[in-house]
Chain A
Amino acid sequence: MRWLLLKDLQILKRSPLQLTLLILYPIVIALLVGFAMTRDQDQTKVALYNAMPAGEPLGFGGEEVDGNEIRDQLCGRVDCVEADSTADAKKMVESGEATAAVIVPEDLGDKIRSLASLNPESPEIQIIVNGSDAVESRVTDDRIEAMLGEANLLLAKRLSEGAKEYLDLILQGGEFDLLGQQIEVLGLKRSEQILKQIEPKLPPGTDREQLGRAVRFAHLATDNLDLAGPLLTAITEPIKAEKVEVGDDAPSLDTFAIGVTVAFALMFVTVLLVAGSLALEKEENAFTRLTAGLVSRGQILVSKVGLGTVVGFVVALILLTGLGLFVGIEWGRAPYWLLALIFGAAAFSAGGAALGAAAREVRAATLAAVMICLPVALLSLVPDDAVGPVIETAINLVSAIFPFRPTLDAITGGLEISGPTLWLPLLHLVILTAAYGALARLALRRF
């Protein structure tokens, strides 16, 4: 059997294109994915033109928001580039210097201040995006939406704080500045106390009853308006989410991205190699000669699975090591992710052998490998909660009978201690290796 494996490696060596692809593929993928993963995600450039008068505070109800504070909020998520005018900002977007522009109008301060008045106006800012690139436009939209959300949250907090101060004034009483004049506000609590003191001194009769009603109203108003403060605070942050993770531990995004990249590479290299190599035995007419008393069909099968496992493992290892140069990989957990790579490579190899034995022709085997692997792997990446229960069950079933998802789980589990459990995917892969091996052996009976 070792001679068969050696022969396959010799044939592989004789195919410069295949060999180059096998060596370059993991390196190029590692570089591409590595750069993509380490690229600063906040590099989106946005042109900012602030038409508001310099130094104008955005104040209302005694609360003031510094213009710089708003700017910091806007530019916290993107790289802001100052523009001199609306036209300048638009030009920057058109030329591609900035992916979008934010125009802060001259009257923004007035409109924000009006929020605290009886005639509130809606403050608006203008967004300019370049619609010629649909993908970039979408990404920019998301970024700007996020940054406006944060700015709005800041304003809402300040508004609610201003409103709370008014409420406190009404409840507790105090001094209020109106057009430069200090006005004293009695406040509901003090009104209630005063009325209560006066009430027993009045003779029984209609006036005393009316006063009693005013005392009860003041009492009720004080109690109920007390609730308004927390209510206003709640409006600024309606739902407070506390994230508690239960059940399967999800890997971090980086680990997941590494897992997907490695699993895809492992799948394509291994399945295509084994399926093609086994079908080649038939095309070269060598299978019959080999099985005429020299080696058994089972030995040929094991040698092909061995070939796929060795080559797939090496390619995946190069890829993972390459990715490790860009993102943090726990080298201390190497025994775990090495196991994941070996078991994954073996399962994909057995699957490739089943395909090659069924197809019996290199081109057909290659085509079948791509047509089966790609959609099934992509299906395996569909989140459970993204589809209805029936489709979810169907996807899970398909994913379970193909080695991609257990390989992905095993790799992420091997890479990250907080990732999914490693041993279950490994057991899953062992079962799939045996099942596909049995299918391949069956198909070889009529090879």
Chain B
Amino acid sequence: MGRFNLVQTPLTGTGPALAARGVSKSFDGRKALRGVDFEVGTGEVVALIGPNGAGKTTLLSILAGIAEPDSGEVTGNGVAWVPQQAALYRRLGVRENLLLFARLQHDAGQTGEAPEQMVTRMLELTGLGDRAGDQVGTLSGGNQQRVNIAIGLMAGPSVLLLDEPSVGLDPAQRERLWGFVLGLVGEGTAVAFSTHDIQEAERYAERIVVVAEGEGIFSGTADALRQAVEVEGGPAGDLETSFLAYLRGRGH
């Protein structure tokens, strides 16, 4: 099977809300990212897929400004990052968690909104007003993830980075989570998320970016990925089959 060409699809909206150019990163001599380019446009939903250890989390961390790239540059403002596992204090209540991060974001100058007001808004947005006093540790995984994302959204970011947001959630919880996220997208928030669930990527993302062994090897719609595989003589079928064929075609 021959190698596929990188397929580029124009961004939706008015331009990139967040962009990375030639980003590289190494850990203890092991290259995690090798000159990766990445963009997400305003109001766009982008899925980042790839095998384990491909560099998805590293790329999201660099895009969020949590990790520094060894080389390359990242441009974009108002980026919020939601880690894979809920970064919450399980012994504190929902309101207390929200209030803590609201206060910290307010003190850090990330928002001018009063912390109490922010908390009220987030409780409404997440639909967890009736659980506000409950300790986070007593919530379901889906509700914890909603609080987790709500904290990321407090400062009204223009870009939301989600690292495997639906891991550990049942289908109903996943449905509710995406209903919540797509509601934000409808208000203009750009979303980039990493996932191992190819169906989830196809269902919710407008564009898919494939990363393998630290390299960006595809960026385009799910249909474009299928077509690319078929054009090169690969098997026709669902997106997962095409994705695997695409990886194999690239030697991964």
B135 at the interface (CB under 8 A from A): yes
What 0/1 readout, one digit per residue, does chain A (276-313) give for beta carbons within 8 Å of chain B? Answer: 00000000111011111111000000000000000000
Whether the Cβ atoms of B88 and A7 lie closer than 8 Å is: no
Whether the Cβ atoms of A284 and B88 lie closer than 8 Å is: yes
- Chain A residues with Cβ below 8 Å from B103 are 3
B110 at the interface (CB under 8 A from A): yes
Q: Name the contact of A14 in the complex, choosing from B92, B101, B107 (C-beta under 8 A).
A: B92
Whether the Cβ atoms of A286 and B92 lie closer than 8 Å is: no
Whether the Cβ atoms of A293 and B83 lie closer than 8 Å is: no
Q: Name the contact of B89 in the complex, choosing from A284, A288, A293, A294 (C-beta under 8 A).
A: A284
A14-B135, A294-B101, A295-B104 known; A7+B83 contact, CB < 8 A = no
A10 at the interface (CB under 8 A from B): yes
Q: Name the contact of B83 in the complex, choosing from A4, A288, A294 (C-beta under 8 A).
A: A288
B: number of interface residues (CB 8 Å): 24
Whether the Cβ atoms of A3 and B83 lie closer than 8 Å is: no
B100 at the interface (CB under 8 A from A): yes
A11 at the interface (CB under 8 A from B): yes
Whether the Cβ atoms of A11 and B91 lie closer than 8 Å is: yes
B90 at the interface (CB under 8 A from A): yes
* Chain B, interface SS category: loop
Whether the Cβ atoms of A286 and B89 lie closer than 8 Å is: yes
Whether the Cβ atoms of A288 and B135 lie closer than 8 Å is: no
CA distance A288 to B83 in the complex (A): 9
Whether the Cβ atoms of B92 and A293 lie closer than 8 Å is: no
What 0/1 readout, one digit per residue, does chain B (37-58) give for beta carbons within 8 Å of chain A? Answer: 0000000000000000000000
CA distance A294 to B88 in the complex (A): 14
CA distance A7 to B96 in the complex (A): 8
Q: Name the contact of B105 in the complex, choosing from A4, A284, A291, A294 (C-beta under 8 A).
A: A294
Q: Name the contact of B100 in the complex, choosing from A3, A14, A285, A293 (C-beta under 8 A).
A: A3
Whether the Cβ atoms of A293 and B65 lie closer than 8 Å is: yes
- Chain B residues with Cβ below 8 Å from A292 are 64-66, 81
B231 at the interface (CB under 8 A from A): no
Whether the Cβ atoms of B101 and A15 lie closer than 8 Å is: no
B222 at the interface (CB under 8 A from A): no
- Chain A residues with Cβ below 8 Å from B86 are 285
B85 at the interface (CB under 8 A from A): yes
B114 at the interface (CB under 8 A from A): no
CA distance A288 to B58 in the complex (A): 13
Of chain B, the residue at the smallest CB distance from A293 is B108
- Chain B residues with Cβ below 8 Å from A294 are 101, 104-105, 108, 110
- Chain B residues with Cβ below 8 Å from A15 are 91
Q: Which 7 A-B pairs have the closest CB atoms?
A: A289-B87, A285-B87, A14-B91, A294-B104, A3-B103, A285-B85, A11-B91
11 examples of A-B residue contacts, CB within 8 angstroms: A3-B100, A4-B104, A11-B91, A284-B87, A284-B89, A284-B90, A285-B87, A286-B88, A288-B66, A291-B66, A294-B101
Interface residues of A (CB under 8 A from B): 3-4, 7, 10-11, 14-15, 284-286, 288-295
Beyond contacts A15-B91, A288-B66: 11 other A-B pairs, Cβ-Cβ < 8 A, are: A3-B100, A3-B107, A7-B96, A11-B92, A14-B92, A14-B135, A284-B87, A284-B90, A289-B81, A289-B87, A294-B104
